[in-house]
A and B are shown apart, each in its own frame.
Chain A
């Protein structure tokens, strides 16, 4: 059974810092890995999607890497801003791509 773990559970950093969020999964037979952002009480916003054949994806200040063999992904946020404060969730898809399993998330707080 696939399990997704995110470390740390919470993180508080001053504005301008670069930071790394970690995600690990137990079953490497994934189709893709997706990073989401969720603001309190809101829906999920897709940030980056990495297909199983890819190693990384970049969008603006965000860079996500995937190492399938070791069951790990990282989300790198450069020059953090207070507007980046949110919960970041990673999710992996398997079972034909229909089942998406989420990690518990990392709650990020960026102090001005």
Chain B
């Protein structure tokens, strides 16, 4: 199984809502990533988890709160978002980088619209 799944596929939320994005993989990968991709732009790294611990936070606003409850799951909790946060949110996983850096596998993304 080389699949990364993400739910929901689409999400529309108001600026006062609280919602969560979910990501799951069963490849035994211990590194998981959140990326944000605006239209016609490349993905931008938001967070990296390694062995279920937050390794990298790319100065992301606190209205985005990541969580890695176990080695297969990665969540992104959303609260008080702004319309400019509307984007495709991509999850990825890989083996933890070591002497060799392995490829990342991406999910299909969640298309988020903030009204």
Contact = CB atoms under 8 A, between A and B. Distances in A.
Chain B: interface residue count, which band? Answer: 20 to 34
A93 B90 contact: no
Contacts of A104: 41-42
B97 A98 contact: yes
Most chain A beta carbons < 10 A, residue from B41, B98, B104? B104
A100 interface: yes
Nearest to A46: B103
Interface in A14-50: 31-32, 34, 36, 41-46, 49
B97 A44 contact: no
Contacts of A93: 97, 101
Contacts, number: 62
B45 A100 contact: yes
A72 to B, nearest CB: 18
B66 interface: no
A103 B100 CA distance: 22
A46 B105 contact: yes
B56 interface: yes
B34 interface: no
Given A42-B109, A43-B90, A98-B97, A89 B56 contact: no
A42 B43 CA distance: 12
Given A31-B97, A44-B90, A103-B42, A98 B104 contact: no
A16 to B, nearest CB: 28
Contact of B88 (A41, A100, A102, A105): A41
A49 B44 CA distance: 19
Interface of A: 31-32, 34, 36, 41-46, 49, 51, 89, 91, 93, 95-105
Given A31-B101, A44-B90, 15 more contacts: A31-B97, A34-B103, A34-B104, A41-B109, A44-B43, A46-B106, A49-B103, A51-B101, A89-B43, A96-B97, A97-B101, A98-B56, A100-B45, A100-B104, A104-B41
20 contacts: A31-B97, A31-B101, A32-B103, A34-B103, A41-B111, A44-B106, A45-B106, A46-B103, A49-B102, A49-B103, A51-B100, A89-B43, A95-B56, A97-B101, A98-B50, A98-B97, A99-B56, A100-B33, A100-B45, A104-B42
